[in-house]
Amino acid sequence: MGNITETSVFENMAADREADMMDEDIRWGFDLNETIYNSSHMIGVSEVGPNVREITLLTLLDEGGALTNNDGTRIPQKEINEIEDIAVVWNYDDGGDTNIHQIYNHNTGEIYWEDHDENWSDGDELILNSLLMYADLESTII
């Protein structure tokens, strides 16, 4: 199911939360936060000019190309329809800027998007810009 060959960084938190968080702190070098959204949460997407349209977070991930299998094919619509909660892993860097590290299915642990050294596509930019501008990451919405 989905484009994941690894488990989410937070999937094993119940079993060994402290060890997982220490491993991720070392990997990314910062304390991490996790914001959980319902997949139908509405989010703004900036358009050319002053316009902003609202779409669901799930639609944003789909438009940004994040809902794909490892071979690049789109996840079947039936599986997409079953996605309920989406988690965004993020932190503040030393300068106070927000960095998004990962987006995953909070229920299954499938990773839909992961930071890849700022070598971003237009779809990555769409997802990141919308989340940074309109997602209110400091809140948790379920």
Average of pLDDT values for 89-109?
Answer: 92
Q: What is the pLDDT of residues 70-91, one digit of tens each?
A: 898 999 999 999 999 999 999 9
pTM of the model: 0.76
With a pLDDT cut of 90, the percent of the chain lying above it is: 56
Q: What are φ and ψ of residue 44, in 5° steps?
A: -80, 150
Neighbouring CB atoms inside 10 A of 116's CB total: 9
Q: What is the pLDDT of residues 3-38, one digit of tens each?
A: 333 344 444 443 343 444 444 444 445 588 999 999
Which residue carries 């030393």 as its tokens?
Answer: 94
Q: Look at residue 2 and tell me whether its pLDDT is greater than 50.
A: no
Query: Alpha helix locations (H) across the chain?
Result: 13-28, 57-63, 77-81, 122-134
